[in-house]
Structure 1
Amino acid sequence: MIDFRYHLVSIVAIFLALAVGIVMGTTLLQEPALKSAEELTAQLAKTKEELRTQVNLLQGREAGNAAFVGELTPKLVADELNGERVLLIEAPGSSTAYREAQHQVLLQAGAAIAGRVTLTDKYLDPANAGVLDGLVNQLKPADMVFTEGASTYDKAATLLAATLMTADQSQAGTANPATAAVLDGFETGGLLNLENEPQKRATLAVMFAPEEPFEGRHAEIQADALASLAGGLDAGGKGAVMTGSGSIAAGPGGAITAVRDDGDLAKRVSTVDTPDMPAGQIVIVYALREQARGGVGQYGIGTGASAPMPALPTSSPSPTTESGS
């Protein structure tokens, strides 16, 4: 008969065998596993160093290219916008640095800056749509008629465009007497802020899109509101360009995307998604020049861009006179 001592010895033997197996397995696997881990770590460290070298090289090249283009910018844009007045429109969350840099390039191109209009979050908040609609109806001239089915933001864009823009060169730099109270009303209502004298109408406009995408259930409405304003400014003057970082403004929820995805707006409003690059700042000037001549395009490197820049205008060769003729 198997007694308790036999059971105890059997159990001890089983656990001893398991312990020996674990120790042997760990000992046999330890060296290959450690060696493999060390090799993988070394390879990852090498790859990281190679990538860091590539990043440093690319950053150096980009800085060099930016410096080169920056030096040439005054020559590349000289006289391109002579006689034009350009209005700067800033959306909430747009880059002040991009706007300041573009301001200087526009001056180098011969443009006069009509002023600056900064939209507030309140303007884009759908919860304030009723207030905005009431203000528009209160301030609009009696003879202003909105298109059938126009949204609140479409109406606001039409009214602001009549106040800020003109396609008539003889009226550039003058206020529209029919909309004299509009900007004061919008500013008092907390919908926008003004700098300089934007009421003295511009012929062209540059809108700076937010540097963060719109999110949440109202994202599409907010992006479309900016696109609608760009379209209104374009219709009220010689043209408009919307600009913003390609990775944001031309991505999902971005204002540039709203323009590029709208078949009608994309045929009228130009976009540039490289304002962070000196070359992109030149492209904005060329896009404005193209707008003033009746053209349009979607430029940059982001989604929906059709080309990096507008086609350069061709000039007819001057006739030559041969000697002795």
Structure 2
Amino acid sequence: MIDFRYHVVSIVAIFLALTVGLVIGASILSKGVADSLRSDLSQRNDQIKSQQHQINTLKTQMDQQDKYITDTAGQLVAGRLSGLCVAVVEIAGSDSDAYSAVHTMLQKQSGATVCSETTINASLSTAASSDQEEAMSLLVAEHTPAGQKPAGTVAQESMELIGEALTTYQTPGASAAASTTAASPTSTATSKATTAATGAATSTSAAPGTMTAGEALATLKDYQSAGFITMVTQPVSGEQASLAYIQAPTTANADADNQTYITLAEALRKGGAGTVVGGSGDSAEKAGLVYAIINDSTATREISTVDNTDVTMGQVAAVFCLDAESQAADASAGHYGTGANNDGPLPPIAAGPGS
């Protein structure tokens, strides 16, 4: 007869067999898994070492390239813009160091004449108050030449006027005090009389719908007095800007602000100045000004951009772009720098002056 003790022994034997099987099976499985994991880890380590070697090689090449550009920048740009007049514009929020470096390269190395230097203050892109917007509207009404039809927001209309003022030929002796005012026929007549009485050389007979030299200076003076711009250097007497360089903000902007800045670039180009916009930081990222220009169906064909003016290569590229603009103002724009959709790091290097 099978007693209770037999059942207990049988059950214990069954569980013991299961335990032994699990231990043996787990040991065999663990060894296989561990071997597989060790093999995968070894492969990953090899890949990491290979990629790190590639990174180090590329970094070395980039350092050598940057050093070459830095060492030869002066020779690369020497005299390329000799005798040309450049209107330089800094938009509020730009990389001031990059702007200063480009300014120096234009004036001291490429031989260009910086015939005006302007800062666009933040209040001109996005009016901080209704009072500022009203003041801007009054300036547009006062300084729009007869025959012109402003379009767009009041900020865009203002940029149109500023762009025209910066590209108007400055006759020797022109002054803001002797300017005409398109909004008032009486003011125009008085101004002409003043000019004749003082013997100033200001032109008062500009083509219909355009500014005279005195009107251009008056426009800039009034926008500065209202706090919308800062004129570091007003347009040079006897000069007219044939080129323009704009330093873009480093941060993302509201779409309306980007459109306002694009209006300025287009106005400078319309005034006969081949225009290049330089930027750094997030200017080439979504909502940045360089990005906005590249993705604007019209501006991308007309306004050249450089997205890395915080380094010497970008500064050289800006000079090369301006050089190309001076040789063929109607040529298609180029976009240079480090962005994925750019035309390359530098424009094609044309033969230097005298070559």
Kept after mapping to 2: 8 A contact 1:114/1:173 = no
Matched, 1:205 2:240: no
- Which of 278, 299, 317 is residue 335 of structure 2 equivalent to? 299
User: Which residue of structure 2 lines up, in the alignment, with residue 221 of structure 1?
Assistant: 256
Aligned counterpart, 2:299: 265
Q: How far apart are 1:241 and its partner, in Å? A: 0.6
Q: Is the 8 A contact 1:210 1:249 kept in 2?
A: yes
Q: Specify which of 154, 157, 162 is matched with residue 156 of structure 2.
A: 154
Aligned partner letter, 2:104: Q
Instruction: Give, in whole Å, the separation in 2 of the partners of 1:123 and 1:262.
Output: 21
Q: Deviations over 1:38-79 (max 9, x none)?
A: 333333333223222222221221121222222322222222
- Give, in angstroms, the shift of residue 130 of structure 1: 7.8
| Aligned: 1:233 with 2:268 | yes
TM-score calculated relative to the size of structure 2: 0.69
After superposing the two structures, state which structure 1 stretch, 40-49 or 8-17, moved more. 8-17
Residue number in structure 1 paired with 2:112:
111
1:290 aligned to 2:324? yes
Does the residue aligned with 2:62 lie in a helix, a strand or coil?
helix
Q: Structure 1 counterpart of 2:113, which letter?
A: A
Check the 8 A contact 2:251/2:283 in 1, yes or no: yes
Deviation at 1:110, TM superposition (A): 0.3
CA distance in 1, matches of 2:80, 2:175: 22
Q: Within 1, Cα distance between the matches of 2:134 and 2:244?
A: 23
Q: Which moves more between the two structures, 180-189 or 196-205?
A: 180-189
Given the superposition, is the C-alpha separation of residues 81 and 96 from structure 1 closer, same or farther in structure 2, using an over 3 Å criterion? same
The CA distance in 1 between the partners of 2:222 and 2:76, in whole Å, is 40
Residue type of the alignment partner of 2:60: G
- The residue that corresponds to 1:71 in the other structure is 71
Q: Alpha-carbon deviation of 1:103?
A: 2.0
Alpha-carbon displacement from aligned partner over 1:236-289 (angstroms, at most 9, x marks no partner): 3422111224x8434432322322333433343222334345343223222212
Matches of 2:46 and 2:74, distance apart in 1: 44
User: 2:315 is matched with which residue?
Assistant: 281
Q: 1:129, 1:152 within 8 Å by CA — same for their partners in 2?
A: no
Match of 1:56, SS state, is: helix
Q: Is contact 1:230-1:240 (8 Å) kept?
A: yes
For the residue of structure 1 that corresponds to 2:283, the secondary structure is coil
Q: Is the 8 A contact 1:125 1:222 kept in 2?
A: yes
Q: How does 1:134-173 map to 2 (within 5 A)?
A: 134-138=135-139, 140-141=142-143, 143-144=145-146, 146-147=148-149, 149-166=151-168, 168=169
AA matched with 1:178: E
Please identify, of 222-231 and 291-300, the stretch whose mean Cα deviation from structure 2 is larger.
291-300
Cα 1:233–1:144, aligned 2, differ >3 Å: closer, same or farther?
Answer: farther
C-alpha separation between the residues in 1 aligned to 2:228 and 2:10?
Answer: 86
Whether the aligned pair in 2 keeps the contact of 1:119 and 1:193 (CA below 8 Å) is yes
Where in structure 1 are there 5+ consecutive unaligned residues? 318-325
Deviates more, 1:40-49 or 1:304-313: 304-313
Partner of 1:323: none
RMSD: 4.1
Do the aligned partners of 2:160 and 2:263 also contact (CA within 8 Å) in 1? no
Shift of 1:156: 1.4
Contact 1:102 1:281 in 2 (8 A): yes
What residue identity is the alignment partner of 1:269?
Answer: I
Equivalents in 2 of 1:172, 1:213: separation in Å?
42
SS at match of 1:275: coil
Matches of 2:81 and 2:311 in 1, distance apart?
20
Structure 2 regions of 5+ residues with no counterpart?
A: 177-212
Structure 1 position 10, deviation (Å) = 11
Q: TM-score, normalised by structure 1?
A: 0.74
- CA 1:189–1:170: 2 relative to 1, 3 Å: closer
Aligned to 2:196: none
Larger radius of gyration: 2
Q: Please tell me whether the aligned partners of residues 135 and 185 of structure 1 are also in contact (alpha carbons under 8 angstroms).
A: no
